[in-house]
Amino acid sequence: MIKLIVSDVDGTLVPDGSSKINPEVFETILKLREKGIQFAIASGRPWASVEHAFEPVKRKIFYVANNGAYVGCCGRSLYVYSIEKELVHRMIRKVRQYPDLEIVYAGANGDYLESSNEELRNWLIESYKFNLTRVNDLLELDEPCVKVSIYKPEGIEAASRDIYEEFKDELKMSCAGDMWMDCMAKGVNKGRAIRTIQESLDIKPEETMAFGDQLNDLEMLEQAYYSFAVANARDEVRKAARFQADSNENDGVLKILKHLL
């Protein structure tokens, strides 16, 4: 019997760069909850963005935000995992050496940007509803950092390879699509967050279903026997998942959820 369902958002429920979720997803989540099945959204987005996107069901779901660095529910944070301040500062200084890369500093309560890139700022606020503040210098922030996101409109994996090689043994680093390289504290990932929820609710991996498409979903898929890669997922994800769903553009996750009902 399935007791917990977990889904990524960008690239899985919706195409990358889209903020529109099929209203049927909300209706289906409510029907699943009526059957006693817990639902978690596991995303690289901050919790404020998750809450806005899932407004109709926000009181019925768990938020696994910032790739597992934040676990909570509506109005309450449960677990927050921050990065050591010195390490964050080293990362910021390193990324600044690459003019084509941008940095988004994620705190538990908001996100910060020092770039003058108005297009990026407006996109994050208008499309993703980030609680975003522009600052003069990220190094002067006092709020603990839960995630550093490195951004490039495309080709982030190749563009950040040198940074990845320098920090991979000190941080959990993974691509979240073609635009983002996300950096969290060592050991932090969506899978660890889902395991925390499972242990808290006495739910086994055999009673868990999960959906993903990117490298930052791999640990999450490992925590679910019913692991699904959407058809548009990276090859590594399709190989790691036990099952495959239709693509995000064809509402693959929704089809599986409706079949489950």
Max alpha carbon distance in the chain (Å)? 52
Confidence of residue 15 (pLDDT cuts 50, 70, 90): confident
- Listing DSSP states for 65-79 in one string gives EGGGTEEEETTEEEE
Report the percentage of the chain scoring pLDDT > 70.
100
- Listing DSSP states for 76-119 in one string gives EEEEE-PPPHHHHHHHHHHHTT-TT-EEEEEESS-EEE----HH
Q: In this structure, what token pair is assigned to residue 70? A: 């934040």
Report the percentage of the chain scoring pLDDT > 90.
93
Q: Are strands 4-7 and 208-212 parallel, antiparallel or unpaired?
A: parallel
Average confidence score pLDDT of the chain: 96
Q: What is the pLDDT of residue 20?
A: 85
- Spacing of C-alpha 152 from chain mean position: 17
On the question of pLDDT at 16 being above 80, the answer is no
Distance separating alpha carbons of residues 232 and 252, to the nearest angstrom: 10
Q: Which residue has the higher pLDDT, 16 or 24?
A: 24
Helix, strand, or coil (residue 183) = strand
Q: What is the pLDDT of residue 75?
A: 87
- Spacing of C-alpha 218 from chain mean position: 12
Confidence of residue 56 (pLDDT cuts 50, 70, 90): very high
**Mean pLDDT of the region 238-251:** 97
Q: Which residues pair with 65 in a beta bridge?
A: 70
Q: What is the pLDDT of residues 159-214, one digit of tens each?
A: 999 999 999 999 999 998 899 999 999 999 999 999 999 999 999 999 999 999 99
Q: What is the pLDDT of residue 17?
A: 67
First to last CA, the chain: 12
**209 touches 2 (CB < 8 A):** yes
Distance separating alpha carbons of residues 45 and 208, to the nearest angstrom: 22
- Listing DSSP states for 127-164 in one string gives TT---EEE-S-GGG--SPEEEEEEE-SS-HHHHTHHHH
Candidate CATH numbers 3.30.1240.10, 3.30.70.20, 2.40.50.140, 3.10.20.740; the one for domain 85-185:
3.30.1240.10
pTM: 0.91
Please give the DSSP secondary-structure letter assigned to residue 59: G
**Mean pLDDT of the region 38-57:** 96
**186 touches 198 (CB < 8 A):** no
Confidence of residue 118 (pLDDT cuts 50, 70, 90): very high
Q: Which residue has the tokens 């006495």?
A: 202
Query: Under CATH, domain 4-80+188-260 is a member of which superfamily?
Result: HAD superfamily/HAD-like (3.40.50.1000)
Q: What is the pLDDT of residue 127?
A: 87
Provide CB contacts within 8 A for 100, sequence distance 6+.
Answer: 152, 159
Tell me where in the chain the CATH 3.30.1240.10 domain(s) lie. Answer: 85-185
Tell me where in the chain the CATH 3.40.50.1000 domain(s) lie. Answer: 4-80+188-260
On the question of pLDDT at 18 being above 90, the answer is no
